[in-house]
Structure 1
């Protein structure tokens, strides 16, 4: 008897046995194919993990599968194995992990065959003279299509700066037409076509050394490319990819934020003639599947995506690049809590290809791996071209008058830069108008009903917003305590700072960049175009401004609250603060004009700030690693955080205490594994739930994994498990 052992997207940590479909099997299905099965009253799409001859359940209890959906597995064997390994390592149900490794439409059981690819072509017999010379853009587009008889798709045309309106005018006149791509047209090899639209830029000595280091040995070669902001890391990426493309390979580039993808994609598409595809959560399900299938078939030669793009199959993998590797958004914070950066290392090893981890401010884990010899460490210490690193200045604001967080010195310096025709960037990592609304009569601060947090005041439109649970409510007319209506905003967010700057500099464009101002489709792209026209302006925003943007006309960066994070309860607080400061500072002076960074602080004599601005990130990171080693903290020890939450206070702690009792009794304890807790989370109440956590740690990764594997069934069987939501976070980056 053939038993199909299937991983299903459920919270249960097990495989499910099914009989073959009632119609029978023509042959034994391949491991990794999708199979549609009945599950209770529902139908689910699962992945075949094993074909067995026996089952622990009576055959009469087993249901037949409904349909085998694939002839060949959607994921190649090594990616299927990687997803299963990740599920095991991060202690997540394997069915759900495999579910998340596939595009949404494949999870729903749709075909894994690509839809026809449409491309624009010049109509037969047409020349560029068909368009009048005064219609420059239309004529240029037609000439470009005439140069590309294989046709061009819409994303490529958009990235070159041509609009849909220009396309439509040519199409209405019958000068261009859209046709389905012929199979022979879809995959261009280096022998058939030139790879580059633009010539390679000359590399300086450091960049050339970095490029050679990436390929200094065949196969798996992990390289930490640590380059100061503006040092030309992206050009090294582009030239490394060009080498891989010439050898017939494909490249996978992971970026931390969706907001970074438009400019990154534009730069890659303007450099390469080959198909460049994008994968991120703002795409439709069909767009994501088509891009995924093009990568798998080899048609898409360069794939750029956020965290989930890690599982995208490549027909001929050649290189993996993780840009801004330190960014915490590479770690999934809920559900399947995997680290895309760490799994990229595993994938590159399995595919035996080079791996580049690029950043100006490496995470301490990556830096430790480089110092231990696991990664090759390459540095870019000079800016590309004639640009010089910005100068730093700590400005002590103790006992200084502030106007909504702005000192007189900051206002004066902004005025000087604007008069000289430059642009200014102000960084404040608090969105909204004000972080708190307080009653001036009794001191009551309006708090969120569902979280241990104050509600942020927004003015456009007017409302109170909790940025932890997303709860929103109208601004109250009267104080709930003393019933007066004398409310005063406390502190400044980006919205308030924007308003003050607009009053101080009424003739200057003030542009706010935060999650609220960039919600509209293409909003970030529109903002970049306004900045890149070069006119004097003031940018004010959150950490979205720190993420790899190129602002050639920005000469002054002002960090309004350099102290944020200096005294964090999280042991990673100093690391995050240092990374953010240097990433933001790197936006200044990236072209010919010199840059300056002015940091407002109440702690101008703080030794860490002084070390950071005088000696740079690596001196700070080396000192921080020594502190971590002396304190027994990651990366010198391995952590797992067991989180629990319940709708009643104390219930989550009680649930975790049952595990502590088992650990203390020796029933589960392994040598070298210790625990702390249970204790309330830093923010105990969030979104209406009371949260507690238990920290498990060990110097032996294997011992910790063995313990985690043994406690998950115990937790699932706990009498309190139905009243508590719990999750395991292995290698957590957020201890809140």
Structure 2
């Protein structure tokens, strides 16, 4: 970067004059803040360009110091103040501060990564091509619909190409149950209402989205903004169209947007130009100057939990943000998280129930097909194949659900038992089929991809075959079994390119598919008009998983996919193939009885002292050799036990992860559990400081996760 000069979006530091010390947050894996100097005051929340070691970095001013924490002659001056944006607002700073404290991360690892990437890149402000910085570039290249605000509530705009034309929104009448629920919820959005949280617990197809739209319209009419969170990127286009048609243009944010698209959406929302922000979990951190309502759709979904870096729960932080601002929060789900259900049942949250579908269609019949004595054909029972044929005859759509992508989970030699394994991970490689008939073996953990061997590497037998089924193999079989049917597969492999998921779902909704084959991305949020049958394959794989949350996830997954059926057609069925039809999860599913499942699951967890009746933190360690990771965690455990706060907690032994090795790095974990949240955090604060010191000079990387979702 030698010779580069800051762009005109940056104000260079002056020379001489008063020396002011500033505490600056940087995105580095080190605790604490870093001292820099400047000749004029710089408000907290301002981004600055600084030198850190041999690098230039964008940091954020957190506070002014009376004196530096290090020797004054070691304090470096700020190179430039990035003034193309005003300082971040106080409420945004409070949210980031709370997240850093609760999840025990350095402030810089929270403040900077939650900004659009271009706002934290030094290269965006340096050199002759910086052209005023990313904000001014975005303002010069707004793109379609980047400027302007929201249409007046009640109006609508339909977009055809680049032209906007008036359209009349279709507003369905509410059922009596919906009307009562709406009246209960809208009392929370009144100007004089006490802030709070509501659980909107509605069966699939009960019209939760309609209530979201009406609540949003009430809030928009008062000049306030609405934040609407969804769990999956692939749900965003459909919901965006609905919001656009009823309420006007929304700013949309998710990780598949380009850097420029994300920045423009962020700017529109942060400047108050967009009255609605629709997005996935990262939208939770966008500053909204007039926020009046937060909606978290499918609040139970595990996608709201970030699994890298700051491992936050967007749902939990949404609740905190609503409380901090005095803004109502609505959590919607047909299968609420057990933590949310418990809070609603004990009165912490307002509990609003929709027990019936909005279009007067009954919930689909759920049939459990015992596969223990069934004659299976490529994993299909005769009952399911007959059901698919009957749907085709009636002109209805079917959905075959299998939460396993690829062609087959493993390649196997029948002679010696060899199976395809990743050389870098303790995991099998999955057989994938590609256009033209080419196959590859792919590791779903590290991404390693190789051609399948022509013969068994161990015994040389050429008769190596795929074992088990993925969505690609199911698609192939159904194409052979029903040659006249239009079969469409939607999974992560089929939707890698930008816009491909939206295009595939458009085909489904346009009636251009007879049988839909897919993973969990087809199971939630989508309203299929002609879907008369859902078939579920291999659900039992989650039934006996080691994670205590597996039954909850299985029930939610099956309830969600079952709820796609029969929304607009009568007589719909859900056929679940299982070796264990007597299991409580399946019996509650057959009765569409979430409350029955939830109360039984909570009683079991209370007896075992598991969340939500306890609170957990998970310390993980990674090293080249497992013994190094385990030794590090064993020493960390001893440090925790030696602290006064550790006596009342349950600190378990270090154990390897289920998938021990990923990309030649071996991993282990240490679980800490407490009956009270406060007791857990009182241990973590001093303990993690000792763990940080323990890791110095050792070939180990470590991390802490609060409220872990997978153990």
Compute the displacement of 1:615 (Å): 5.3
Secondary structure at the counterpart of residue 289 of structure 2: coil
Aligned-residue Cα RMSD (Å) equals 2.2
Higher mean C-alpha deviation, range 528-537 or range 722-731:
528-537
**Structure 2: gaps spanning 5 or more residues:** 1-18, 126-132
Separation of aligned partners in 2, 1:199 and 1:711: 57
**Structure 1: gaps spanning 5 or more residues:** 122-149, 168-175, 177-193
Q: Following superposition of structure 1 onto structure 2, how do residues 589-668 of structure 1 map, counting pairs within 5 Å?
A: 589-614=566-591, 616-664=593-641, 666-667=642-643
Q: Contact between 2:491 and 2:519, CA under 8 Å: does it hold in 1? A: yes
Compute the displacement of 1:220 (Å): 1.7
Alignment deviations for residues 101-140 of structure 1 (CA, whole Å, 9 cap, x no partner): 211111125454560476889xxxxxxxxxxxxxxxxxxx
Give the alignment partner of residue 683 of structure 1, picking from 652, 659, 662. Answer: 659
Alpha-carbon spacing, 1:246–1:415, altered in 2? closer, same or farther (3 Å) = same
Higher mean C-alpha deviation, range 336-345 or range 62-71:
62-71
Q: Contact between 1:670 and 1:707, CA under 8 Å: does it hold in 2? A: yes
Q: Following superposition of structure 1 onto structure 2, how do residues 385-396 of structure 1 map, counting pairs within 5 Å?
A: 385-396=359-370
Compute the displacement of 1:533 (Å): 2.4
Q: Contact between 1:74 and 1:112, CA under 8 Å: does it hold in 2? A: no
Structure 1 residue 42 corresponds to structure 2 residue 60: no
Give the alignment partner of residue 58 of structure 1, picking from 71, 80, 83. Answer: 71
The equivalent of 1:455 in structure 2 is: 429
Separation of aligned partners in 1, 2:697 and 2:461: 46
Give the alignment partner of residue 259 of structure 1, picking from 222, 234, 238. Answer: 234
Alignment deviations for residues 653-681 of structure 1 (CA, whole Å, 9 cap, x no partner): 000111122233x2454342221111111
The equivalent of 2:516 in structure 1 is: 539
Q: Contact between 2:534 and 2:562, CA under 8 Å: does it hold in 1? A: yes
Separation of aligned partners in 2, 1:161 and 1:216: 34
Separation of aligned partners in 2, 1:318 and 1:206: 25
Higher mean C-alpha deviation, range 209-218 or range 578-587:
209-218
Structure 1 residue 200 corresponds to structure 2 residue 171: yes
Separation of aligned partners in 2, 1:658 and 1:244: 53
Separation of aligned partners in 1, 2:373 and 2:291: 59
Give the alignment partner of residue 649 of structure 2, picking from 663, 673, 677. Answer: 673
Compute the displacement of 1:608 (Å): 2.9
The equivalent of 2:381 in structure 1 is: 407
Alpha-carbon spacing, 1:474–1:118, altered in 2? closer, same or farther (3 Å) = closer
The equivalent of 1:693 in structure 2 is: 669
Q: Following superposition of structure 1 onto structure 2, how do residues 254-333 of structure 1 map, counting pairs within 5 Å?
A: 254-273=229-248, 275-333=249-307
Q: Contact between 1:497 and 1:540, CA under 8 Å: does it hold in 2? A: yes
Compute the displacement of 1:343 (Å): 0.3
Alpha-carbon spacing, 1:675–1:539, altered in 2? closer, same or farther (3 Å) = same
Q: Contact between 1:159 and 1:266, CA under 8 Å: does it hold in 2? A: no
Compute the displacement of 1:649 (Å): 2.4
Q: Contact between 1:392 and 1:598, CA under 8 Å: does it hold in 2? A: yes
Give the alignment partner of residue 218 of structure 2, picking from 243, 246, 250. Answer: 243
Secondary structure at the counterpart of residue 501 of structure 2: helix
Compute the displacement of 1:449 (Å): 1.0
Q: Contact between 1:553 and 1:593, CA under 8 Å: does it hold in 2? A: no
Alpha-carbon spacing, 1:604–1:55, altered in 2? closer, same or farther (3 Å) = same
Alpha-carbon spacing, 1:612–1:93, altered in 2? closer, same or farther (3 Å) = same
Q: Contact between 1:508 and 1:538, CA under 8 Å: does it hold in 2? A: yes
Separation of aligned partners in 1, 2:545 and 2:382: 28
Secondary structure at the counterpart of residue 552 of structure 2: helix
Structure 1 residue 230 corresponds to structure 2 residue 243: no
Alpha-carbon spacing, 1:302–1:151, altered in 2? closer, same or farther (3 Å) = closer
Q: Contact between 2:150 and 2:275, CA under 8 Å: does it hold in 1? A: no
Separation of aligned partners in 2, 1:625 and 1:721: 44
How does the TM-score come out when normalised to structure 2? Answer: 0.91
Separation of aligned partners in 1, 2:143 and 2:306: 36
How does the TM-score come out when normalised to structure 1? Answer: 0.88
The equivalent of 1:472 in structure 2 is: 449
Compute the displacement of 1:686 (Å): 2.0
Q: Contact between 1:227 and 1:381, CA under 8 Å: does it hold in 2? A: yes
Q: Contact between 2:142 and 2:264, CA under 8 Å: does it hold in 1? A: no
Q: Contact between 1:119 and 1:152, CA under 8 Å: does it hold in 2? A: no
Compute the displacement of 1:314 (Å): 1.3
Structure 1 residue 433 corresponds to structure 2 residue 407: yes
Q: Contact between 1:429 and 1:543, CA under 8 Å: does it hold in 2? A: yes
The equivalent of 1:9 in structure 2 is: 27
Separation of aligned partners in 2, 1:459 and 1:627: 43
Alpha-carbon spacing, 1:611–1:402, altered in 2? closer, same or farther (3 Å) = same
The equivalent of 1:369 in structure 2 is: 343
Alignment deviations for residues 418-454 of structure 1 (CA, whole Å, 9 cap, x no partner): 1011110000011111111101211111111111111
Secondary structure at the counterpart of residue 540 of structure 2: coil
Q: Following superposition of structure 1 onto structure 2, how do residues 490-509 of structure 1 map, counting pairs within 5 Å?
A: 490-509=467-486
Separation of aligned partners in 1, 2:453 and 2:567: 46
Compute the displacement of 1:564 (Å): 2.4
The equivalent of 1:347 in structure 2 is: 321
Separation of aligned partners in 2, 1:586 and 1:721: 53
Alignment deviations for residues 294-329 of structure 1 (CA, whole Å, 9 cap, x no partner): 112211011101111001111211101011111111
Alignment deviations for residues 350-372 of structure 1 (CA, whole Å, 9 cap, x no partner): 12111110111001111111112
Compute the displacement of 1:219 (Å): 4.3
Separation of aligned partners in 1, 2:567 and 2:464: 43
The equivalent of 1:215 in structure 2 is: 186
Compute the displacement of 1:700 (Å): 1.8
Higher mean C-alpha deviation, range 407-416 or range 715-724:
715-724
Secondary structure at the counterpart of residue 228 of structure 2: strand
Give the alignment partner of residue 81 of structure 2, picking from 68, 76, 80. Answer: 68
Compute the displacement of 1:730 (Å): 0.3
Separation of aligned partners in 1, 2:250 and 2:638: 55
Structure 1 residue 97 corresponds to structure 2 residue 114: no
Separation of aligned partners in 1, 2:449 and 2:157: 38
Secondary structure at the counterpart of residue 563 of structure 1: helix
Q: Following superposition of structure 1 onto structure 2, how do residues 83-122 of structure 1 map, counting pairs within 5 Å?
A: 83-108=96-121, 110=133, 112=135, 115-116=139-140
Alpha-carbon spacing, 1:399–1:345, altered in 2? closer, same or farther (3 Å) = same
Secondary structure at the counterpart of residue 597 of structure 2: helix
Alpha-carbon spacing, 1:323–1:437, altered in 2? closer, same or farther (3 Å) = same
Secondary structure at the counterpart of residue 115 of structure 1: helix
Q: Contact between 1:668 and 1:710, CA under 8 Å: does it hold in 2? A: no
Separation of aligned partners in 2, 1:119 and 1:410: 48
Alignment deviations for residues 77-109 of structure 1 (CA, whole Å, 9 cap, x no partner): 011111111011101111010012211111125
Q: Contact between 1:657 and 1:678, CA under 8 Å: does it hold in 2? A: yes
Structure 1 residue 566 corresponds to structure 2 residue 540: no
Q: Contact between 2:229 and 2:297, CA under 8 Å: does it hold in 1? A: yes
Q: Contact between 1:214 and 1:221, CA under 8 Å: does it hold in 2? A: no
